[in-house]
Amino acid sequence: MAEIKLENLTKSYGDTEVLHHIEGDIKDSEFVVIVGPSGCGKSTLLRMVAGLEIVTSGQISINGNVVNDLEPADRDIAMVFQNYALYPHMTVRDNMAYGLKIRKIPKDEIMRRVDEVADILEIRAYLDRKPRQLSGGQRQRVAMGRAIVREPSVFLFDEPLSNLDAKLRVQMRLEIRKLQKRLGVTSIYVTHDQVEAMTLGDRLMVLNGGYVEQFDTPIELYERPASLFVAGFIGSPAMNFVSADLANNVVTLANGAKLETGLKTSGKVTLGMRPEHMIPDESGAIKIEVDMLEQLGANTLVHGTLQGTDIPFVISLDGIQTIEIGATLSFHAPENALHLFNIETGIRLND
């Protein structure tokens, strides 16, 4: 069981700095998800914690010990790789036991631990098979098993579900979550899938271009995104953005529509509104010309443009809706559904 502290962590390749002054405290038995688009440095950050990448500057401590210069094996961590990285010439049992064998743990103790973990993961039947004889989902379990038998104080996951099909991914996601809660081991999980991030994480660290955009609970990220990037990244379908003028508590959209806000400042802003927060209202100020519908069964996505402009706008309506293409719909947005961001810096204008 461990706490992890990231202090002023920087990573450079030659002259290019890819991670900039990362700060973060991860509490004991917390599940933290690092999420961001490809190339944002999330895997690099994880690999620095694992000890597979050298820290350029700053400090990583696990349980109060600075681990910057420790070999991966000495950091008391276990990692699950994206392509599982199972040893192809060893049976599942040997794969799981390998790390313990190197640690010179007695044979019967190894057997006991491997069997125990195999029971938890329900892979007991495959213990004597080679990885190539297993399906993707089974290999994934073995990779997890290999991490669990080590009984480390930190689990690191590097996009472990991205090679699985959609259905299995949802199932494994739940299992990982349950398992982590049951074992209570501090975990860091890297993914680019925001749904995975929202469902798994106690807290999410949103990375963009090597900077931490926000580090908070999923709900906080959804309700109060700290920046334009987080607002656009979290939530599906993505938030609508419209540039607007703010003056005297009122934002004026490009087509002249006016909306009430509680904000005292004034100037140019970017206004964000989530598709699912728009309420149909005949007298609403936001008018949308419908271009296309996406019927998903549980809800209907209305793709259109803000009336009088060519700014795209998506609205999510409950259930199955029949709307004519080309129709104009009116919506009302409650005050707490309006997210205002500084038009230049993209930082949330606090309300």
Partner 1 sequence: MVENRPFMTFITHLVLILGVMMIALPIWITLVAASHDEIRMLQAPIPMLPGTHFIDNLKQTLFGAGLSGDQTPVWRMLFNSLAMAMMISVGKIAISLISAFAIVYFKFPFRMGFFWMIFITLMLPVEVRILPTFEVVANLGLLNSYWGLSIPLIASATATFMFRQVFLTIPDEMLESARIDGAGPMRFFWDILLPLSRTNIAALFVILFIYGWNQYLWPLLITTDTDMTTIVMSIKQMLESAEQSPKWNIIMMTAFLAMLPPILVVVGMQKLFVQGLTETDK
What are the residues binding partner 1 (CB under 8 A)? Answer: 50-52, 71-74, 77-79, 81-83, 85-89, 98-99, 102-103, 132, 150
For residues 185 and 76, what is the distance between their CA atoms, to the nearest angstrom? 11
Judged by CB, which is closer to partner 1: 85, or 179?
Answer: 85
Indicate the residue among 147 and 244 with the shorter CB distance to partner 1.
147
Both tokens assigned to 20 = 């900039």
Residue 331's nearest CA partner among 262, 291, 277, 279 is 279
Minimum distance from residue 100 beta carbon to partner 1 (Å): 9
Query: What is the token pair recorded at 191?
Result: 């993914």
The radius of gyration of the chain's CA atoms, rounded to the nearest angstrom, is 24
Least Å from the CB of residue 263 to partner 1: 49
CB of 95 to partner 1, least distance (A): 9
- How far from each other are the two terminal CA atoms of the chain, in whole angstroms? 38
Residue nearer to partner 1 on the CB measure, 45 or 314? 45
Smallest distance, partner 1 to C-beta of residue 64, A: 21
Q: Quick one: tokens of 338?
A: 């309006």
Distance CA 250, CA 244 (A): 10
User: Using CA of residue 284, residue 286, residue 290, residue 294, what is the dihedral sign?
Assistant: negative
* Token code pair at residue 72: 């991966």
C-beta closer to partner 1: residue 74 or 318:
74
* Nearest distance from C-beta of residue 175 to partner 1, angstroms: 21
Residue 3 half-sphere exposure toward CB, CA atoms < 13 A: 8
The minimum distance between CB 149 and partner 1, in angstroms, equals 11
The amino acid at residue 335 is E
User: Smaller CB distance to partner 1: residue 38 or 248?
Assistant: 38
Q: Which is nearer to partner 1, 87 or 174 (CB)?
A: 87
The CB-of-85 to partner 1 minimum distance in angstroms stands at 4
Shortest separation between residue 41's beta carbon and partner 1, angstroms:
18
The nearer residue to partner 1, 87 or 296, going by C-beta atoms, is 87
CA distances to 78, 167, 173, 200 from 179, rounded to whole Å, are 15, 19, 10, 11
User: Tokens standing for 295?
Assistant: 């019927």
The smaller minimum CB distance to partner 1, of residues 114 and 273, is found at 114
Amino acid identity, position 63:
N
Q: Where are the beta strands (DSSP E) in 81-138?
A: none
Q: Answer whether 78's CB lies under 8 Å from 96's CB.
A: no
**78 versus 204: smaller Cβ distance to partner 1:** 78
Is residue 66 a contact partner of residue 8, using CB atoms and an 8 Å limit?
no
Tokens of residue 127, six digits: 């213990």
Instruction: Show Cβ contacts of residue 199 under 8 Å, excluding neighbours closer than 6 positions.
Output: 173, 174, 177, 218
Kindly state the smallest distance separating residue 96's Cβ from partner 1, in Å. 10
